[in-house]
Structure 1
Amino acid sequence: MLAEINSFLNDLIWGNILIYLLPALGVFFTLSSRFVQFRYFFKMFNILRDTSHKKDGHISSFQALMLSIAGRVGGGNIAGVAVAITLGGPGAVFWMWIIGLIGMSTSFFECSLAQLYKEKDGQDSGVYRGGPAYYATKALGQKWLGFIISILLMITFGFAFNATQSFIITTSFESTFDIPTWITAVVLTIIFASAVFGGIKRITKFSEVIVPVMAMGYLLIALVVIGLNFEKIPELISMIVNEAFNPSSAIGGGIGAVILQGAKRGMFSNEAGLGSAPNVAAVAYVAHPVQQGIVQSFSVFIDTIILCSCTAFIILLSGVYVPGAQGVEGVLLTQNALIEHIGPFGGYFVTIALFLFGLSSMLYNYYLAENSLNFFSKANMPLFTAFKLLCISLIIWGSFQDLGSIFAFADLSMGLLAVINLIVIALLYKPVLQLIKGYDRQLAEGKKPVLRYNDYNEYKIDKKVWKEIVDNINDKKSKK
């Protein structure tokens, strides 16, 4: 009965609420901001080159971006895209692109809010905290809402998703390399523990190394596949667009199924609007909240437009995919497609990629959970140590469990989190529009934008945090 109730609520939230709410708000944010995700796209490169944080030991925009990509990029890029194509056909890829481009604006709004309402971490003066729980509490004055958001984040990402990632990684290594699950679990746990006991700075250091390696490795493999089949690319893109509006008869459910699968898998993969990425966006040391909004918007682009497309091209350029066939899907479909392209190495590569994607996601998930715990209890070191030990033990436990039911419950809690977060950022769209206007105004004046925090008195931000940042930046300017 519990499984049936959980399935019903999942279908209600994901299939009847979020499938409409996410795109609708994405379109609203895109239009109200005058297509902010496209106007600011190329400014991202200048922001990532900013090294003003290094002298003070702060976390940079690049490190926050890598940690964010670590969470967005994962099984959804390898298995989720394969499921979308299996159930929705090649046309689902087109709608995945659309939901990604629209979702960039949603991510911009939620991550700019996280920056605007961030606060100092009580444990480490060089680190900031923020996210949906913080801006819901400060801006709306609803602390109970912040508690609910934090609990949902902790359950979904810190516990359920990390245990599930451990199961996927260990069983994948056992299947591909015949390595017992307990050996992989021990290695995974040691790496994970060494990162989380080093705090957010060490987690970002890990992500700074792992994410570029895994993303570039996967991109290079995809480019090899594309290069081997270059003459087929125009025809493939034409087929994707055509199937998006005129799906073949082999796809059950017609165009509705195509749109649903593309949108649903796109949302699962890039997490735009789900309330997870803002927790990471808040930690970056930037002069203006819009800067981190731009960077996190780019994170959605990397996840959906680049890496999800890599998987789609690998599958659709192979002979493994058969329209309407339900026998092979998920990781196995991607693995079989890559084996066809480049031989047995393709199967090994997918398993290694899953390990890197899974490990980076686990670090990201842990930080979301830790940030939620910080909302409840600041600077309580014994509590944080006990929490770290619990999360580490769940890695071992998860490697020996079939966590299908737990994962389904986590989908439900994540869906509830997304609904709450979307409603909150819809209510708080005005301060983001004011941030954009202020940023544009300073650019027009030929200045490097910094937050003029006294212009935001009505929005209950932590002015001490922003005064310290702006004063520090001005001091550095005066010394040059």
Structure 2
Amino acid sequence: MEALSQFFTTVGNWVWGPAMLVLLVGTGILLTIMLKGLQFSMLGFALKQAFFPHRKKADGSDHDGDISHFGALMTALSATIGTGNIAGVATAVVAGGPGAVFWMWITAIFGMATKYGEGVLAVKYRTTNKKGEMSGGPMYYIERGLGSKWKWMAYAFALFGTVASFGIGSSVQSNSVAQAIQTSFNIDPLYTGVVLTILTAIVVLGGIRSIATASSFIVPIMAVLYVAGGLIIIFLHLDLLIPAVKLIVSDAFTGQAVAGGAIGSVIRYGVARGVFSNEAGMGSAPIAAAAARTDHPVRQALVSMTGTFLDTIIVCSITGIVLVMGLMGSGGEFIKPELTGASLTTTAFDQLLPGPGGWIVTIGLIFFAYSTILGWCYYGEKCAAYIFGEGFANIYRAIYVASVMIGTIASLDLVWLAADTFNGLMAIPNLIALLLLSGVIVKETRDFKAKRQSGELH
């Protein structure tokens, strides 16, 4: 066990090292340039497509696909908005300082272009399986977009995605829920595991439509409640807001930020946790995007792009600003805490909003983690089906549900290390494909704009 832990620690440090972070952000920067800053010029249109679809077209029900634009976005967000938004941000602030929040923002800005590119390719190269359901994602746009000689890379992505789903998708999430409930309500993890496993089985055994329906209900409610709680704290302590933002920005460019080579602790942790939270470049979200009913790949890609904006620019920012506000000294300096992770976020919320503050984080953590379990089941299932065939889907779901139960009662230090490593490994084949198919992304974007201008598309 110790040898395995050391192995995954070593590989994980390499996977999430400077080279990978440069590749992740660099891909986003390149796509931003090639697409002429599309994430800025079309963000308003993208948000409208996600939440207020064209009335004549409703949700795209007259087009190919399994779920609506909104359903695809909520499924992706269910897997994206998770413990990283609470525990991950706290870890970044403790390890890298308040400036890490600034680099999370930068990562999200360019990550929106990456997420857009993933969405375009996911819909363009998706296929229909024997059940009549849509199948898509990196493994399909690698194989169909780059050709059969790259199929080994498609299998590599699918393998990494399958393994990662049992860790970062199910067991570590259910463990977080069990620990949070035990701490707050003193309920034995075994009982939490039984209930959580049953609730998970009810939803995931119904497939993507069931997952999308549950996600469309859970995600908006949990996100709004968490953001509202954070905003209440900020408004109650408006005198701390400007100093906190100044500290975040100034710390991002201090000597500490560039210490130790080309990338320093502030930048490294901000970028790593930003990517870990919004999953831009990981290749997971396009699996959900491929299931959307849409008349053009770009329309769903724009909707997918809003997921990064909502996850990092909105939700993570709330966590980061509240944390920095709670960790500032009387002179505006940053006081490094002894706590980290979800415990630190809970303490900060409770300190600034005694009573309900801590509950907001606890309840948010529970629902964030549960929604992640739902979304990642679909991702893992599609990855497993690509390797073993569609007939393996039901077997995968059964194993996945069992891993939820195991996660609530097992010690998961090694699983965390392995999951983090495989989650990062997913990005390598995906980013290579995005770079090689960047010309296709630009071509599809031009086609969509031309058709809108001519009136062929609304």
Shorter-chain TM band: over 0.9
Q: Go from structure 1 to structure 2 and tell me whether the alpha carbon gap of 1:427 and 1:410 turns closer, same or farther (over 3 Å shift).
A: same
Structure exhibiting the larger radius of gyration computed from Cα positions: 1
Aligned pairs for 1:14-413 within 5 A: 14-48=16-50, 49-50=53-54, 51-54=58-61, 58-123=66-131, 125=132, 127-140=133-146, 141=148, 142-159=150-167, 161-246=169-254, 256-319=264-327, 323=334, 325=336, 327-380=338-391, 383-413=392-422
| Counterpart-to-counterpart distance in 2, 1:379 and 1:9 | 31
- Listed one character per residue, the Cα deviations across residues 22-65 of structure 1 (whole Å, up to 9, x for unaligned) are 11111111001111111211112442314244478841100100
Q: CA deviation at 1:227?
A: 0.9
CA distance in 2, matches of 1:45, 1:15: 33
Give 1:446 deviation, angstroms.
Answer: 3.2
Secondary structure (helix, strand or coil) at the match of 1:447 reads coil
Looking at structure 2, the residues matched to 191 and 320 of structure 1 have their Cα atoms a distance apart, in angstroms, of 41
> Residues 253 and 353 of structure 1: is their aligned pair in 2 closer, same or farther, counting only changes over 3 Å?
farther
Unaligned runs of 5+ in 1: 450-480
What's the CA shift string for 1:403-426, capped at 9, x where partnerless? 111121122112221111101111
Does the residue aligned with 1:179 lie in a helix, a strand or coil? coil
Q: Tell me which amino acid in the other structure corresponds to 1:275.
A: G
| 1:414 counterpart residue number | 423
Aligned length: 444
C-alpha deviation, 1:372, in angstroms: 1.3
- Indicate if the aligned counterparts of 1:122 and 1:378 stay in contact, CA closer than 8 A: no
- Contact 1:207–1:360 at 8 Å: present in 2 too? yes
Deviations 1:380-424 (A, max 9, x none): 2xx332222211111111111111111211221122211111011
| CA distance in structure 2 between the aligned counterparts of 1:112 and 1:252, rounded to whole angstroms | 38
TM (norm. structure 1) is 0.88
Deviation at 1:252, TM superposition (A): 8.4
Q: C-alpha separation between the residues in 2 aligned to 1:37 and 1:218?
A: 25
Q: For structure 1, which segment, 298-307 or 86-95, has the greater mean C-alpha deviation from structure 2 after superposition? A: 86-95
Q: Percent identity?
A: 32
Task: Tell me if the contact between 1:25 and 1:106 (Cα under 8 Å) persists in the aligned partners.
Answer: yes
- What is the Cα deviation at residue 135 of structure 1? 0.8
1:304/1:33 Cα in 2 relative to 1: closer, same or farther (>3 Å)? same
Aligned position for 1:7: 9
Shift of 1:3: 2.5
Alignment partner, residue 457 of structure 2:
448
Contact 1:159-1:391 within 8 A present in 2 as well: no
1:115–1:408 Cα change, 3 Å? same
Change (3 A) 1:16 1:238: closer
8 Å CA contact 1:87, 1:324 repeated in 2: no
Point out the more displaced range, 254-263 or 5-14. Answer: 254-263
Give the TM-score normalised by the residue count of structure 2. Answer: 0.92
SS of equivalent to 1:374: helix
Deviation, 1:292, is: 1.3
- Do the aligned partners of 2:89 and 2:273 also contact (CA within 8 Å) in 1? yes
Shift of 1:298: 0.8
**1:246 counterpart letter in structure 2:** T
